[in-house]
Structure 1
Amino acid sequence: MNSGSLEIQLSWQDPVTGERREPRLRVPIAFGREFARMPAELRGQPVVRMVLNHDQVSRFHALIEWEQNQLVVTDQGSVNGIHVNGQRQTRAVVNSGDLLQIGPYVISVTFAAALTPPSPPPPVHSGNSVINFNPSTNLPDPTLPPQQPVIPTGSNFPPPLFRQQQIPVQALHATGLPVDETDYLAVGAGLGSFIWVDLLRISSVSSDKIVALGIDKEPYARYKLLCLNSQIPLHERLRSNSDSCPDNIWGWPSYALREAWHDFTKGKLNDAVKYLWKVFAEPTFAETYTPRAGNVFDSIDREAKRIGWDKIYRFGRVLTIRKTDDGRYCVAYSRGRGNHAFFVSRYLHIATGYPALQFLPHLQAYRERYKDFKSVVNAYEDHNHVYQQLEHQGGRVLIQGRGIVASRIVQRIYEARQKNPNISILHLMRSPKPQGNKYGNSQRSVKHHIELQPFNWPKACWGGELRETLEKAPPDVRKELLSNKVWGGTTTADRLDWQRITDTGIREGWYKIQFAVVTKVEQDAQNHIITYIEDKDFGEIQLPAVDFIIDATGLDAKVKESPLLQDLVEHYNLPLNPVGRLAVANDFELVEMRNDKGKIYAAGAITFGGSYAAVDSFLGLQYACLRAVDGLAAARAPGVHSLNPVSSFGQWLKWVFNQSPT
């Protein structure tokens, strides 16, 4: 390839605005915060200047050049350095598909010559479609083709020996690829992995015995992205309890107490008292307290630093998991295009989160037909352009889904109406909900056909009577209890501000609810979106044209949507529970994957349908990981000491004084 004509495709999401940028540029490229004056050695050269406006980016930060038939990136003496595929470098070769990090910008690099036309979209099925997460960027990507198998035909990695049930460790070394070993390996490196690692550390396991493999160094990166995309900025509140603290096993001081103390020291006495009153009086006399997103992320940052997360984390996309012939497990993973390696460990923990976003099939069909990814969006995609256009031009929005995400979208549109009142909402629901689910003597309240509940499950599911009931129940009874007719179902938080918004909207006429089943969505000659619904009396009828449709129906954690989990299930013929997720024991072990003394545990949404309902909540992740670590202690796993009142108090004191656990 001629270096003078070389172009590369860069792709990233702006960490401040959330805007997606995908420039195609000619090499050389200079990256920096500003370029008031270029370095002397580059003056007069045709250098493309790429400005990254962030205080973590130096004025002249990095340079990409073409040297001896290779693309090379060089750190230009920046303060924060550059990272290639998660590893800090001063000078490195960049291959197509690699990830380059400059400050908070994680940039995917693709050679223009390597760019290929997108694969044809998958056919639309009767069930929900999905939007998969890009395995290179960890961002939802609606243009991705269906997920590919882990070991496709003709692939040279993972090698053919991974088709065996047990892999000889000697054969791994014979491949010539890097083989590392560790006692404890966390697959995913997200919040579930972080909590498991945190519990191992406070159970006396040293950081050099633990590895967490994943795409993002910040354990909350995926969760934060989904929050921001679904219009929960850092100052807004999550649907989580005050003492559900991923950074602190005791849950004390709770988020409410921390926030009250912070405001008290700032002279905001009324706010401080308000938070404490909420916790004391909720939910009977006061609205349930929930923490601010930014406070949660800050607390996790503090704990990550305390336990040495930066030494534990490794960049890598896990491709497959296999048993080894010596009672351990081998993980094959990719560190970038053409850069593969193995990890061997006796104890694994899988917490991969949600692999895809649910997407209604008629909306998927619309996007495939019209190639319109701006007017019809998923609430978990980056869709800030919708609110920007509404604020400037007004418009009509159709929302599908009636859970907490839909409520947050309604709030965001209400905020846009403060700038432009020429905005209206049509909230489309499949059927009325005149009354809430009832279990025993308890029944959920309903307002405007939306079930209200402080959290996504009855509170007794976390640690009370309902948790014990579910744990003792057989699989078919668990499925019934977790169904939409009993404990489950779509609910939204019992927030008075959201109720006031819908009350106001209905009264003023800009918010309307309609019950219908959508048959198809089309585009008219003016590029407006036309929705057709089925009416029992009049057949198919057309709704008024809208400017945007937002799908707020949620996330998808089915095993089949994750190539890693699907490969594991098929290779070892693992059972799934009645709702189609991984079948785990009450201590969250995948019992069928036991290999001599080796054990695999799981946590998060991939275990839903088992002995615990709220598996994807903060407290649910803590519970699953605590049960798993207790199991390791009972099995006398190396370095794991059971927590007792004395050792637990000692570890809590270390947390208070921000000291390392070991």
Structure 2
Amino acid sequence: MNPQPLQIRLSWSDPATGERREPILAVPIALGREFAQMPDELRGMRVSRILLNSAEVSRYHVSIDEDSGSLVGIDQNSQNGTFVNGQRQARSLLANGDTLQIGPYQITISFLASPSISTINFHPDTDLPDPRLVATPSSDNFPPLVFGQSQVALQDLHATGLPVEEVDYAAIGAGLGSFVWVDMLRISGVKIDRIAALGMEEKPYARYKRLCMNSQIPLHERLRSNSDSCPDNIWGWPSYAWREVWHDLLKGKVSDALGYLWQVFAEPDFAQTYTPRSGNVFDAIDRESKRIGWEQIFRYGSVRAIRKTSDGRYVLAYSRRRSSTASPDRAFLIAPYLQLATGYPAIQFLPDLKAYREKTGDFESVVNAYEQHDRVYQHLEQHGGTVLIRGRGIVASRIVQRIYEARQKNKQISLLHLMRSAKPQGNKFGSSQRQVENHYEFQPFNWPKACWGGELREMLEKADPEGRKRLLAHWGGTTTADRRDWKRIVQQGVNEGWYQITFGEVEKVERDDTQNRTVTYIQEKGLKGQIRLEADFIIDATGLDAHVTASPLLGDIVTHYNLPLHDNGRLVVANDFEVTDMRNQRGRIYAAGAITLGGPYAAVDSFLGLQYAALCAVDSLAAVQAPGLKRLNALSSIRQWLKWATNKSP
């Protein structure tokens, strides 16, 4: 048996956005601007590829490989050279902690002595955030040894004696991304028994709902993300706003109904952007789920591996047991057309906070905004206290609002908001610039609205990889929902003194047992002294992790088939969202959601982004005459809308 390849962690901050990247990769590793054609010396090898989208980086710039037990970096005659710890080197032995300078990228090399401490993974048996879980592939002899091959023969699968099922279309994830893809397939004529959706929870919105609830967006609260589209309705008519208008008119609430219409037609210049209540979204998805037969399409299963088959399809090895203590129940599913919509693989967790929890075992005082932490607000309402928030995006804004609500019951609550640096002005693009107040950069949603379906979407689709990186850097960044209630709360907190903003780099987080509080030591910006920030609770609101290597399933596919990744750790997809490096004769794999950011679409994790990916993928399938699928035309689309409106099966 061949020994396991050496794995190392590469760490760097994106030079355009400052976002941290920390992929774990098996050597050999190739780093460069593009790998449209692999160099001759890499053909036939399993090579981890990292794309660095900068004109200062050569197409194939440098390789990292193992030589006689040592790690070596080899410059590939790049135009601008490779610098190791500041010195230009053609070939150099690499040690733990060494830094590679490749164009604008400063990449630190770390040998893996311990698992990463920068994420909270979802447990494979429950799909719940598990702070004690490390994402590692299974080691229980499943999938079988034949999955070590690049192509699996069907007779080898049947020889295992495990159940083998065949369908035409398989969705991996069974979340919102899978749901809208399946919805498109059903509307386009595909029968229920030809589709399978594999996931951990039957409700396609289950994880999304849980994350909303944990981050303090209950069912009656309005979402803070884009909702111009409806996951239950590909036509977008009637929209959530029109449905709410009709509902209120029937109840005689004329002023409320007119207010929603004003928001829709007057935003963003004269009115606050409309977003629906989360409960209304989930109810609408329940209705559409019943209409398209989601219950029959869904298969409970944790997908462990995906491999190409020798006849031009794909096989999924999955476990059907519902807990780690249940008897093993494994099976295979074969399909020529797959969709990867696994959602965010993990929750981002600041390393110093995770290190604190690992050292102290204190999971009560330090929490992540996406973990269940209602106890924090219950304690504050009863006893008062101080909360320290890290992060300043949409999730942080909702946490601040929730603390404001708690202060209505107990005024002895104060809030410290720790930010790395001040934000004097917002991002610019052309003649446009984002508004900034109190160091928050405001935008209705996480991307400019034209990214969803306007000129910015078309611009990104036509751009080359380097151009896309530049555009995404201009349009992206950490933004906060542009809402009047939120702005009022922040300004009121600043004026009254219960809300304070502090800037600095965290040096360490400890526990003061005498005071029974957490202590965060920071190096304040512009000062030499160390500052102590004491708090009863710390809430990490820095967001979710979309790096595909954080997912054991996606990481396995990337490693096994040497798939290229963008330098932001996401999958490289074509304009129709196909993972072209996984094409297998007639077989096609498509992707959707946050794991595709860096491709042809910016708002990939929005409702409309998921629907756009599904539309592109189904159009692509229709072009290759996928079985049972009929391209929608004007007449069939109207007919299908009428079926939707009357709640009849497609």
- Tell whether the structures are fold-level matches, with TM greater than 0.5: yes
Tell me, yes or no, if the aligned pair for 1:530 and 1:542 is still in contact at 8 Å: no
CA gap 1:454/1:599 in 2 versus in 1, 3 angstroms: same
SS at match of 2:336: strand
Matched, 1:490 2:478: yes
Residue 511 (structure 1) aligns with: 499
Matched, 1:362 2:352: yes
Matched, 1:653 2:605: no
Residue 310 (structure 2) aligns with: 325
CA gap 1:471/1:363 in 2 versus in 1, 3 angstroms: same
- Please report how far the alpha carbon of residue 537 of structure 1 lies from its aligned counterpart in structure 2 after TM superposition: 5.4
* Equivalent residue for 1:260, pick from 220, 245, 262: 245
* Alpha-carbon distance between aligned partners in 2 of 1:243 and 1:520, rounded to the nearest angstrom: 42
Counterpart residue type for residue 535 of structure 1: E
SS at match of 1:532: strand
Residue 173 (structure 1) aligns with: 158
- Please report how far the alpha carbon of residue 143 of structure 1 lies from its aligned counterpart in structure 2 after TM superposition: 1.5
Counterpart residue type for residue 414 of structure 1: Y
Counterpart residue type for residue 281 of structure 1: A
> Structure 1 length as normaliser, TM-score?
0.79
SS at match of 1:654: helix
CA gap 1:537/1:631 in 2 versus in 1, 3 angstroms: closer
Tell me, yes or no, if the aligned pair for 1:133 and 1:355 is still in contact at 8 Å: yes
CA gap 1:537/1:600 in 2 versus in 1, 3 angstroms: closer
Residue 17 (structure 2) aligns with: none
SS at match of 1:343: strand
Matched, 1:389 2:374: no
Tell me, yes or no, if the aligned pair for 2:421 and 2:525 is still in contact at 8 Å: no
> After superposition, where does 1:238-387 map in structure 2 within 5 Å?
238-336=223-321, 337=326, 338-387=328-377
Give CA deviations for 1:95-118 in whole Å, capped at 9, x if unaligned. Answer: xxxxxxxxxxxxxxxxxxxxxxxx
Return structure 1 stretches of 4+ with deviation > 2 angstroms.
Answer: 121-125, 239-243, 535-540
Residue 524 (structure 2) aligns with: 535
Counterpart residue type for residue 605 of structure 1: A
Residue 148 (structure 2) aligns with: 163
Residue 103 (structure 1) aligns with: none
Tell me, yes or no, if the aligned pair for 1:390 and 1:416 is still in contact at 8 Å: yes
* Alpha-carbon distance between aligned partners in 2 of 1:242 and 1:625, rounded to the nearest angstrom: 16
- Please report how far the alpha carbon of residue 242 of structure 1 lies from its aligned counterpart in structure 2 after TM superposition: 4.8
Residue 107 (structure 1) aligns with: none
* Alpha-carbon distance between aligned partners in 2 of 1:477 and 1:209, rounded to the nearest angstrom: 40
CA gap 1:536/1:239 in 2 versus in 1, 3 angstroms: closer
SS at match of 2:564: coil
* Alpha-carbon distance between aligned partners in 2 of 1:137 and 1:434, rounded to the nearest angstrom: 43
Tell me, yes or no, if the aligned pair for 2:503 and 2:525 is still in contact at 8 Å: no
Give CA deviations for 1:257-283 in whole Å, capped at 9, x if unaligned. Answer: 000100111111111111011101111
Residue 81 (structure 1) aligns with: none
* Equivalent residue for 2:130, pick from 122, 137, 141: 141
Counterpart residue type for residue 344 of structure 2: Y
Matched, 1:438 2:428: yes
Tell me, yes or no, if the aligned pair for 1:260 and 1:275 is still in contact at 8 Å: yes
* Equivalent residue for 1:499, pick from 487, 490, 503: 487
* Equivalent residue for 2:588, pick from 592, 596, 599: 599
Ranges in structure 1 where 5+ consecutive residues have no aligned partner? 1-120
SS at match of 1:493: coil
> Structure 2 length as normaliser, TM-score?
0.81
Counterpart residue type for residue 225 of structure 1: R
- Please report how far the alpha carbon of residue 540 of structure 1 lies from its aligned counterpart in structure 2 after TM superposition: 4.7
- Please report how far the alpha carbon of residue 355 of structure 1 lies from its aligned counterpart in structure 2 after TM superposition: 1.1
* Equivalent residue for 1:230, pick from 193, 196, 215: 215
Counterpart residue type for residue 383 of structure 1: H
Higher RCO, Cα 8 Å, sep 6+:
2
- Please report how far the alpha carbon of residue 580 of structure 1 lies from its aligned counterpart in structure 2 after TM superposition: 1.7
CA gap 1:124/1:406 in 2 versus in 1, 3 angstroms: farther
CA gap 1:536/1:423 in 2 versus in 1, 3 angstroms: closer
> After superposition, where does 1:211-226 map in structure 2 within 5 Å?
211-226=196-211
- Please report how far the alpha carbon of residue 522 of structure 1 lies from its aligned counterpart in structure 2 after TM superposition: 0.5
* Alpha-carbon distance between aligned partners in 2 of 1:342 and 1:536, rounded to the nearest angstrom: 56
Ranges in structure 2 where 5+ consecutive residues have no aligned partner? 1-111
- Please report how far the alpha carbon of residue 147 of structure 1 lies from its aligned counterpart in structure 2 after TM superposition: 1.3
Residue 411 (structure 1) aligns with: 401
SS at match of 1:539: coil
Counterpart residue type for residue 603 of structure 2: A
Q: Give the RMSD, CA atoms, in angstroms.
A: 1.3
- Please report how far the alpha carbon of residue 149 of structure 1 lies from its aligned counterpart in structure 2 after TM superposition: 2.1
* Alpha-carbon distance between aligned partners in 1 of 2:212 and 2:430, rounded to the nearest angstrom: 34
* Alpha-carbon distance between aligned partners in 1 of 2:283 and 2:616, rounded to the nearest angstrom: 26
* Alpha-carbon distance between aligned partners in 2 of 1:640 and 1:199, rounded to the nearest angstrom: 10
CA gap 1:537/1:165 in 2 versus in 1, 3 angstroms: closer
Residue 641 (structure 1) aligns with: 630
Tell me, yes or no, if the aligned pair for 2:227 and 2:607 is still in contact at 8 Å: no
- Please report how far the alpha carbon of residue 544 of structure 1 lies from its aligned counterpart in structure 2 after TM superposition: 3.7
SS at match of 1:545: strand
Residue 87 (structure 1) aligns with: none
Residue 100 (structure 1) aligns with: none
How many pairs align? 533
* Alpha-carbon distance between aligned partners in 1 of 2:545 and 2:265, rounded to the nearest angstrom: 35
* Alpha-carbon distance between aligned partners in 1 of 2:114 and 2:483, rounded to the nearest angstrom: 39
Tell me, yes or no, if the aligned pair for 2:122 and 2:128 is still in contact at 8 Å: yes
* Alpha-carbon distance between aligned partners in 1 of 2:236 and 2:226, rounded to the nearest angstrom: 10
- Please report how far the alpha carbon of residue 323 of structure 1 lies from its aligned counterpart in structure 2 after TM superposition: 0.5
CA gap 1:524/1:322 in 2 versus in 1, 3 angstroms: same
Counterpart residue type for residue 650 of structure 1: R
Tell me, yes or no, if the aligned pair for 2:227 and 2:608 is still in contact at 8 Å: no
> After superposition, where does 1:120-135 map in structure 2 within 5 Å?
123=114, 129-135=118-124
Give CA deviations for 1:82-140 in whole Å, capped at 9, x if unaligned. Answer: xxxxxxxxxxxxxxxxxxxxxxxxxxxxxxxxxxxxxxx98486xx7100011111110
Tell me, yes or no, if the aligned pair for 1:400 and 1:427 is still in contact at 8 Å: yes
